[in-house]
Amino acid sequence: MRDDLTIVILAAGLGTRMKSRKAKVLHEAGGLTLIEHVVQTALQLALPERIVAVVGHQADEVRAKVAGAGIGFCVQAEQLGTGHAVMSCREALAHLPGHLVVLYGDTPLLAAETLRRLVARQIASGAAATVITTEPGDPTGYGRAITDDHGDLVAIVEHKVATPEQRAIRQINSGIYCFRADLLWKHLLEIRPNPVSKELYLTDIVEILHGAGYKVASMPHTEASELLGINNRIELAAVDEVFRRRKVEQLMLDGVTIQKPATVMVDAAVRVGVDTVVEPFAQLLGSTAVGTDCRIGAGAIVRDSRLADGVRIWPYTLISDAVIEDGASVGPFARLREGAHMEREAHVGNFVELKQTKLGRRSKSGHLSYLGDAEIGAGVNIGAGTITCNYDGVRKSKTIIGSQVFVGSNATLVAPVELGGGSYVAAGSVITDAVPADALALGRSRQVVKEGWAKRRREGAKALPEVSRLRT
């Protein structure tokens, strides 16, 4: 961490080529917005108070995404180009000594290590600036690096305005620079609007510094994919894929088994413990934390949830904002929504939904149930088809079920209602009143049996013509 380093992140553009109403840096790759990625990288090199993001398009939203990091902001009210964007923080930063790194908010794969090398190279070389260059498979759209015999930069020519000979150059400008701060601020205002686009290109500073007799070094970087600048949604998808691959590879190196890793999607902040197995097409998103020895079934989606150790998630289960304790199992085809909390070894089976509900230790809801706003004790059996009627059209009410309760199949529990510990609810009951502990509650009409009725009907029906027989 250097205290003489300033970092400016350009993030004011709309990103016309994204064809979006949302500012480009607010688009996500690898589960974070582009601006969050770049700020995280910057924070590994410089103090937050020496990092400034230039915002313009949807400034408030961009600011809100990274405000927690403690960095500063400059506003570029009108987006007149990357040179103009840097000019907009001249007043705030020109007095700061040392070196200044410019990063573009649309280049999120950049590694802190590469940036560290850039700064070290710049300081050692005594150049006015050092620019990271690379050779991507297809240089279309990028600024081309024009170098002299020593490999030093003479100019950067934007693709749009480059001649066919210049376009044939494969070495491109990554958009990542380290300047001697004093020289940048001294010469920045010499940038003139580009005759074709009328924009003020930061890249023109290279020719200006070179013309003033300074050396501008290039730092060729072989890992072109790390420097991918996102300008459209195809590039966004490509970068997302790189983040995903990096994340699952890291998890595998850390002791997680991932089957068909190319199909598994894991967000950057997700943590997974050793010996957990992740099956194909699973997604682990947001702030999810998974313990050790768990199994995440095929097609399961887990967001912002905490899974302890030995948890089993069967395929095609959706889980969000939930807590699942040791040894519990969920699914297949189950849904745990906000505030679902399964205690140790609890079990939820297929087509069961939990919301704002605590399911106590070793309690089970195996099939076809809705449990909302409920507090369920330990060792409870919830029969198939049980529904908590938690909403009367106006407000939500609670269902409280004590430990060791047995709820028969297809029970309808009309909240607010409480079932005392150890009580029984007969199958098919509609329960509207409290059930005392250890009682049996029956809430259904008594069964009527008519001996021989079916047989008589069958025999009578034989004499009837075809059509009327169908109607009876």
Scanning 59-67, 158-166, 230-238, 353-361 for contacts with Mg ion by CB under 5 A, the matching segment is: 230-238
The β-bridge relationship of strands 172-180 and 99-104 is antiparallel
Which residue, 235 or 309, has its beta carbon nearer to Mg ion?
235
- Candidates 173, 283, 365, 388: give the one binding ligand UD1 (CB under 6 A): 173
Q: Which two tokens stand for residue 266?
A: 């894991």
Token pair listed for 439: 């009682």
Smaller CB distance to ligand UD1: residue 10 or 407?
Answer: 10
62 part of the interface to ligand UD1, by CB under 6 A: no
Mark residues 141-160: x for contact with ligand UD1 by CB under 6 A, - for none: -xx------------x-x--
Which residues 6+ apart lie within 8 Å of 168 measured at CB? none
Pick from 7, 11, 53, 209 the residue near ligand UD1 by CB under 6 A.
Answer: 11
Position 13 contacts ligand UD1 (CB under 6 A): yes
Please identify, among the stretches 130-138, 201-209, 361-369, 382-390, the one whose residues bind ligand UD1 according to the rule CB under 6 A. Answer: 201-209
- Whether residue 400 contacts residue 420, with contact meaning beta carbons closer than 8 Å, is answered with no
Closest approach, Cβ 354 to ligand UD1, in A, equals 42
Site string for ligand UD1, 217-256 (x = CB under 6 A): ------------x-x-------------------------
Q: Which residues pair with 221 in a beta bridge?
A: 134
With 0-12 CB in 10 A as exposed, 13-18 as middle and 19+ as buried, what is 411? buried
* Among Mg ion, ligand UD1, none, partner that 201 touches (CB below 5 to 8 angstroms by kind): ligand UD1
Chain centroid to Cα 412, Å, comes to 38
Rounded Cα gap, residues 324 and 302, in angstroms: 11
> Shortest Cβ distance from residue 177 to ligand UD1 (Å)?
10
Q: How far is the CB of 265 from ligand UD1 (least distance, A)?
A: 25
Q: Is 408 in the site for Mg ion (CB under 5 A)?
A: no
SS3 213: coil
What sign does the dihedral 165-193-174-130 (CA atoms) show?
Answer: positive
Stretch of 196-204, 311-319, 354-362, 413-421 lying at the interface with ligand UD1 (CB under 6 A): 196-204
Q: Candidates 93-101, 104-112, 258-266, 334-342 — which segment interacts with ligand UD1 by CB under 6 A?
A: 104-112
Q: What is the 3-state secondary structure (H, E, C) of 251-300?
A: HHHCCCEECCHHHCEECCCCEECCCCEECCCCEEECCCEECCCCEECCCC
Residue 249 Cβ vs ligand UD1, minimum distance, rounded to whole Å: 25
Q: Which one of the spans 75-83, 324-332, 378-386, 458-466 is the region binding ligand UD1 (CB under 6 A)?
A: 75-83
- Is residue 231 a contact point for Mg ion (CB under 5 A)? yes
Closest to 277 measured CA to CA, from 304, 291, 262, 296? 296
Segment lying near ligand UD1 (by CB under 6 A), choices 4-12, 333-341, 415-423, 454-462: 4-12
When CB distances are held under 5 to 8 angstroms depending on the partner's kind, the choice from Mg ion, ligand UD1, none that residue 10 binds is ligand UD1
Query: Closest distance between ligand UD1 and the C-beta of residue 22, in Å?
Result: 12
Give me the least distance between CB of 219 and ligand UD1, in Å please.
14
What are the structure tokens assigned to 458, written together? 């069958």
> Which residues are catalytically annotated?
367
Q: Which residues fall within 8 angstroms of residue 174, CB to CB, at 6 or more apart?
A: 107, 131, 132, 133, 134, 221, 227, 229
Residue 335 has phi, psi (to 5 degrees) of: -140, 120
How far apart CA 176 and CA 102 sit, in angstroms, is 6
Total residues interacting with Mg ion, rule: CB under 5 A: 3
Q: By the 8 A CB rule, do 25 and 108 touch?
A: no
DSSP assignment of 106-159 equals T-TT--HHHHHHHHHHHHHHT-SEEEEEE--S--TTSPEEEE-TTS-EEEEE-G
* Per-position x/- string for 94-133, each x denoting binding to Mg ion as judged by CB under 5 A, each - no binding: ------------x---------------------------
| Residue type for position 158 | E
User: By CB under 6 A, what part of segment 42-61 binds ligand UD1?
Assistant: 54
- 195 preceded by a cis bond (ω within 30 of 0): no
With CB under 6 A as the contact rule, the residue among 27, 37, 84, 180 that binds ligand UD1 is 84
CB of 230 to Mg ion, least distance (A): 7
Min dist. Cβ of residue 204 to Mg ion (A): 16
**Which residue type occupies 455?**
K
Pairing of strands 153-157, 144-147: antiparallel
Task: Please work out the total of residues on this chain that contact ligand UD1, with binding judged by CB under 6 A.
Answer: 31
Find where tokens 């600036």 sit: 129
Residues binding Mg ion (CB under 5 A): 106, 229, 231
Residues binding ligand UD1 (CB under 6 A): 10-13, 24-25, 54, 76, 79-82, 84-85, 104-107, 142-143, 156, 158, 172-175, 201-203, 229, 231
